[in-house]
Amino acid sequence: MGEPKAQAGPSGVVSLEPHSQFNDRSASMIPPFLLVLLVAAASLAGSASQASADDSLAVYRWKSRVLVIAAPERSDPQIEVQRREARARIADFAERDLVIIEAIGDAPEAVRIRKGFGISASQFRVVLVGKDGEAKLSEAGPIPTSRLFAIIDAMPMRRDEQSRR
């Protein structure tokens, strides 16, 4: 009969329509372990591309730690409290490769960042993200720099950085 037709499905995933020469008997000729491997590989490839497409902080991974300040609007006074903490210890932030990212309001990038950490649009939150891209601490209010630095300085990667300096 004819070749299978490609159809775009949800999320732009391309699937092939079964074609009449491929029947249940043909499927049984594929070794089960190979079938499982193919399904797992396809699943992982889809997950990896989706994760990198949604990961707004990927550019910092393995280079910087990130302090995300999330707030519904710029007028939230807690934003300035966290900024003041950072300004007072700017050299210490630099020494620890710590950058600040603000996810404020309803801009698409802010929404993506908040969604990535499960932060609602109406919530103030500060999240410390390690160089591995994982959240290490999440608080509903400003985090004192002494606490941030104690957590960072206890991280294995940070201890390794200190031993090389």
Percentage of residues of the chain with pLDDT beyond 70: 67
> Mean pLDDT over all residues of the chain?
76
Residue 142: pLDDT above 90? yes
Confidence of residue 54 (pLDDT cuts 50, 70, 90): low
pLDDT given at position 1: 47
pLDDT tens per residue, range 34-52? 333 333 333 344 333 334 4
- Alpha-carbon span 33 to 39, nearest angstrom: 10
Mean pLDDT of 9-24: 29
Query: Which residues, including other chains, have CB under 8 Å from residue 70's CB and lie 6 or more apart?
Result: 102, 103, 104, 110, 113, 114, 117, 119, 123, 124, 125, 126, 127
- Alpha-carbon span 85 to 93, nearest angstrom: 10
Give the domains, in start order, of the chain with CATH numbers.
6-54 (no CATH), 58-164 (3.40.30.10)
